[in-house]
Structure formats: structure tokens, C-alpha cells
Homo-oligomer: A and B are copies of this chain.
Amino acid sequence: MTQPQVETSRTAERERADVGLCAVLLGVKDDQPEVLALEDAHGGLAIAHGAIDDIDTTLERALRRMVERTVGAHLAYVEQLYTFGDRGRDPQRRALTIAYLALVRREIAPARHRSQWLPCYQLFPWEDFRAGRPEQIDRLIVPALRSWAKDDPRRGLRADITFGLSGSAWDPHRVLERYELLYEVGLVDEARRDAQQRGNQLPSASEIALGRPMALDHRRIVATALGRVRGKLSYRPVVFEMLPSEFTLSQLQRLVEALAGFTLHTPNFRRLVSAAGLVEPTGHHRPTGGRPAELFRFRGDVLRERPTPGVGLPGAR
């Protein structure tokens, strides 16, 4: 589609602003979800980013080419995440970035330049329940939240809902809400850094800095991406974008667990996945430590049969 008409009244209203693209490239290796990070000029970690190239007719195309330029990876699955425009304000310009989520097969995605794969749970250690409840929640986060909410019941309610306290259930989707709350409370390094840059007081006297910080608001963008993937798992077959064409059910399960951040009941997982018609056997087998595993492939026909074909996490009720 092109601009249908010279819309003077409209373009006149518009301001010029700095606009860029950025992409959260998400892959899983050795049961760890990882995000592609580049070292920026100041030694910070940034996700892939760049300008909108004018030759591309759609934003998605511009994004794909930006990523190919920047990190040399070809992207399979891409979706728009969110547009961030709160930061980077100064009298002359506003810095906008249109963030995308991209899922990649780690085998196909070579990291170039000064890039590295950064484990997501180094960024958000409190999000990984696979080896039990992360100890930092009860040791560091809960006490800090309690003292932050001491005099305001609304803060208490928010803390309870976001971190699943006082009877509320832990909701795996609320990755962003948790990061943002920790930022507000001053438990992540970016909060201190941004306060210093503004010349403000620290939001809290705490010396706690949970998880690895990133440049600008990139950790917030990655949190948005992780939350989005967790949500999408249950109603769209996005996991298969991160698997080879043939895979075992354990591979699939461990991948889902890595993204969801908790373990699943193996026998039920197998049945749910096959009963949903998501996969079909290829007839091939693969040797393992024990009994050889059957290889499966994604069954494209589910798309026609079910409105919401996904792996259905327990918390999705």
C-alpha cells in the first residue's frame, strides 16, 4: 500500500523524531534460552538495533535486513513486539524504537561481529523455576518488596500479584511486570544508573543489583519478549520455529520448559502434544542414553483444525 493522497492536514501535525528498529533474537541451546547481544561502544550489552532502511516497503522487511546487516542471521519467525518511546527524551528529539521479537534455530544463526549469546536467566534469574524456586526471591526480593510496600496497601497488592505472594499464583507471563517492579523498587542496576544520569537520588538505598544489566532499556525489551513468547506458546505453535524439522518429544519438552521457566509432567506432556495433533511420527529413531527416541515432525494441518494450536502450559486456565 502506498500513501493514497497528500494528506497535508495530517503530515503537518507530525513531528520529526528519531526512529529506529531493534530485535530480540531468541534461541535455545543446552536447555538455556539465550538472546543475541552486541557490545556497544561503552562496554554495555545491547540487542541488535539499527535504522529503518528507506528501500524496504514494510517495517518487517526493514527489520530482517537490519538484522542480516548487523549480525548476519537470517530470521524465520518475526513479530512486532512493542514500540518504546519513553526514554531518550531531550528538548530536541525523542528516541523511538520499534522492537521486534525473532525466534531462531541456534544451528542456523551464526553470531557475527562483537556479538554473543546471552542466557536469558542471567538477565532474569528470578524467572527460572526449573531447579526449584529461585532462592533470590525469598532472600532478596520479598523483603525489599515488603519494605517498599510497608505504608501503602496498593503497593502490597501489586507486589503480591506480580510476584505471586500472599496466596496469589506465580504467573509466568508477567515477566515485564516483574522487571518493571524491580526497577521501580531499585533492585536492578539500570534503576541506579538512570537515576544518576538524571542527577536524582537513588530510588532506594539498597545495594542489591539483581541479574545482569544491559544498555539503555534493552533489558526491559527482552523482558517484554520473554513474556510474549511464554504467552504465545499456549496458543500458537511457535516452538517449532526453534527446532530442527525432526525432533524427539523430549527435545520439544525441554525447549518448552526452558522458555516457560518450569518443568512439566512428562507423560502428560507427550499425550497433550499428540492428542492436540501438533506432531506426527516420522518413523525414524535416534539413539539416546537409554531406549531410542522416536523422531517427530510438526504437523501443519493443526492450523486448519484448531483455532488455538499451542502446547498449553498449566497456568493457562
Q: Which residues of A contact B (CB under 8 A)?
A: 1-5, 7-11, 13-20, 40-42, 49-52, 54, 57-59, 80, 82-83, 85-91, 94-96, 98, 157, 160-161, 166-169, 171, 173, 193-194, 197-198, 215-217, 303-305, 307-308, 315-317
Decide if B14 touches A51 in the complex (CB within 8 Å): yes
Contacts of A52 in B (CB 8 A): 15, 17, 85, 94
One of B4, B13, B18, B308 near A50 (C-beta < 8 A): B13
Bound complex: CA of A82 vs CA of B57, how far in Å? 17
Contacts of A13 in B (CB 8 A): 20, 49-51
With A4-B194, A49-B10 already in contact, the answer to whether A305 and B95 are too (CB < 8 A) is: no
Decide if A11 touches B95 in the complex (CB within 8 Å): yes
Decide if A1 touches B86 in the complex (CB within 8 Å): yes
One of B15, B19, B166, B197 near A4 (C-beta < 8 A): B197
Q: Which chain B residue has the least Cβ–Cβ distance from A157?
A: B304
Decide if B58 touches A171 in the complex (CB within 8 Å): no
With A83-B59, A315-B307 already in contact, the answer to whether A14 and B3 are too (CB < 8 A) is: no
Could you tell me the distance in whole angstroms from the C-beta of A101 to the nearest C-beta in chain B? 13
With A2-B88, A52-B85, A58-B85 already in contact, the answer to whether A7 and B80 are too (CB < 8 A) is: no
Assembly of this chain: how many copies? 2
Could you tell me the distance in whole angstroms from the C-beta of A239 to the nearest C-beta in chain B? 19
One of B18, B173, B194, B304 near A161 (C-beta < 8 A): B304
Give 18 new A-B contacts, CB below 8 A, not counting A11-B95, A59-B85. Answer: A2-B89, A3-B88, A4-B215, A5-B42, A7-B40, A10-B40, A11-B18, A13-B50, A14-B51, A15-B51, A16-B19, A17-B52, A52-B85, A52-B94, A54-B91, A58-B85, A169-B307, A308-B316
Decide if A19 touches B8 in the complex (CB within 8 Å): no
Could you tell me the distance in whole angstroms from the C-beta of A160 to the nearest C-beta in chain B? 6
Q: Which chain B residue has the least Cβ–Cβ distance from A60?
A: B86
Decide if B171 touches A7 in the complex (CB within 8 Å): no
| Max chain B C-beta neighbours (<10 A), residue from A1, A86, A161, A304 | A1
Q: List the 6 closest A-B pairs by CB distance, nearest first.
A: A3-B88, A171-B307, A59-B85, A14-B18, A1-B87, A58-B86
